[in-house]
Amino acid sequence: MPTPVPARVCVGAIAGSFGVRGEVRLKSFCADPAAIADYAPLWSEDGTRRFEVKITGTTGNGLVARLSGVGTKEAADALRGLRLYADRDRLPPAGEDEFYHADLIGLTVLDTGGTVLGTVKAVHNHGASDILEVMGPGMKAPLLLPFTRQVVPTVDIAGGRLIADPPEGVE
């Protein structure tokens, strides 16, 4: 019987190599960017690669890290764009009114009248705040909702749904 794969959450991505000794530029998606090393080992999305992580410095927009098994610039370059995942049980529990993006994806989105708007397909953050990408039947383009208490007053992870009150003009 195969061993079940543990639930994993994306905690960062490799932006490319740093220097000539195999270090990588690491984008951390953690509230405390350096905490990414605390959640090691980190895994590739398919679970075939495992990395121990040692933070060795910072760059203008990320961290510099040494990953186990990566000893050359070429090996580091080959990992560019690789998303890194931590076992869910290694992460701290989400605080009150905090959610892991992975927990939001797949939730059914209802408006305040109970009409299904669609399903959360992705969560984006371009610097200001999180945006929920919602797709529903017959939609040609996704509905983009700011993930704020005003627009999304209810998040029911256990019930698999959230209630949204889209701003005027958002359809």
Nearest by Cα to 151 from 106, 103, 117: 117
What would the mean pLDDT of 140-169 be, rounded to a whole number? 90
The terminus-to-terminus CA distance of the chain in angstroms comes to: 47
- Residues above pLDDT 90, as percent of the chain: 66
Fold of the domain built from segment(s) 101-164: SH3 type barrels. (2.30.30)
Fold of the domain built from segment(s) 8-90: Elongation Factor Tu (Ef-tu); domain 3 (2.40.30)
The domain ranges of the chain are 8-90, 101-164
Cα gap 66→23, rounded to integer Å: 5
Considering only residues 134 and 1, tell me which one the structure prediction assigns the higher pLDDT: 134
Predicted TM-score (pTM) of this structure:
0.73
CA geometry: angle at 16 spanning 15 and 18, to 5°?
A: 120
Cβ neighbours for 141, distance < 8 A, ≥ 6 positions apart: none
Cα gap 1→167, rounded to integer Å: 50
Q: Is the pLDDT of residue 170 over 70?
A: no
